[in-house]
Homo-oligomer: A and B are copies of this chain.
């Protein structure tokens, strides 16, 4: 098996009995030295206790450990929920012998059930005892909920002669929509960076990756992306210019993780990239791409392998942006299916249907109204999505 590590970081995971299936559900990431930290959190008005705690703590710019559980979101749990998030961080801190303020917390799972903190307390010593450099893949498994596969990506870069590593893990397969996808993501790097520069790099990457994917248009209360940089590689970025060298590697990691999330979308059988160009602005293009990518009618047609371009055009038409349907072209991969708003006939449709039978393809829409462009990754909408989500809590 692939050995996923990042110099100066260790990780571990244990079963605390939060998930019904007795699988590992509590994880810990630890940096040998306090790291610079940046975070991006859900924009949902409803924010889980760990999100609220982290948003406060991350202001210091420093972090040395993240403790994370699946099986319970610790959301809509009132004052007790906030207390439990603090206790969870505190337990990790004392066992690691570091300051409580250097520990961040994340949770994912069912909303509105009290977090059984005593089960977490009982296994913290085990968790800390099993920390090891190659424990990151264990952690990636422990944070899974409806995910079918664990997700991690590790890439290397070089800055001024110093090689550095960026290693990320993520979970998420439903409640996935821009701002953010419902997901947790933890990224470790041994580059050094001041927190403000790290924050800028993370925001740019998230906007290019997790904010460009959708599974079902729902956003969550627990979305969290945390980037820790411990500086142990000797590579230290300090300026905007320096950031670019790091950005390149960070973008790569986040985009690959984002793609893995859509590929693992609940019930998904196909991965589809929606590319819009020719909009009046990039923002308009993004609205059109998102509306198509979230349309149930478009996504069920993809599942049915039906080149129903009328639904694509109709979804574009309700995106709330200005364009002329009568000059719009639609391609399925390279097959021109609609020319100036009119279908290209049966032979084009037969070719397009062949494209739709592939597990991955592109839908390209040219609005020919301007130079705005955007791209969004989505998946099809299958019977299994409904099955998974009708039965989620039972």
Contacts and interface: CB of A to CB of B under 8 A. Distances in A.
Nearest to A295: B218
Interface in A75-96: 75-78
A175 B112 contact: no
Contacts of A386: 300, 303, 381-383, 385-386
A217 interface: yes
Contacts of A112: 309-310, 313, 338, 342-343
Given A76-B325, A76-B341, A78-B342, A314 B389 contact: no
Contacts of A303: 386, 390
- Chain A interface, >50% SS class: loop
Interface in A358-394: 381-383, 385-387, 389-394
Size bracket of the A interface: 35 or more
B325 A393 contact: no
A134 interface: no
Contact of A310 (B110, B219, B316): B110
Contacts of A341: 46, 76, 78
B317 A44 contact: yes
A311 interface: yes
Contacts of A101: none
A45 interface: yes
A341 B177 CA distance: 23
A314 B391 contact: no
Contacts of A304: 389-392, 394
A109 to B, nearest CB: 10
Contacts of A392: 301, 304, 306, 308
A262 interface: no
A173 B373 CA distance: 34
A73 interface: yes
A20 to B, nearest CB: 15
A306 B333 CA distance: 40
A247 interface: no
A296 B217 contact: yes
Nearest to A44: B317
A113 B344 CA distance: 10
Nearest to A288: B45
Interface string A193-221: 00000000000000000000000111111
Closest 8 A-B residue pairs measured CB to CB?
A111-B310, A304-B390, A46-B317, A300-B389, A44-B317, A45-B317, A112-B343, A78-B342
5 contacts: A112-B313, A221-B310, A306-B390, A306-B391, A308-B393
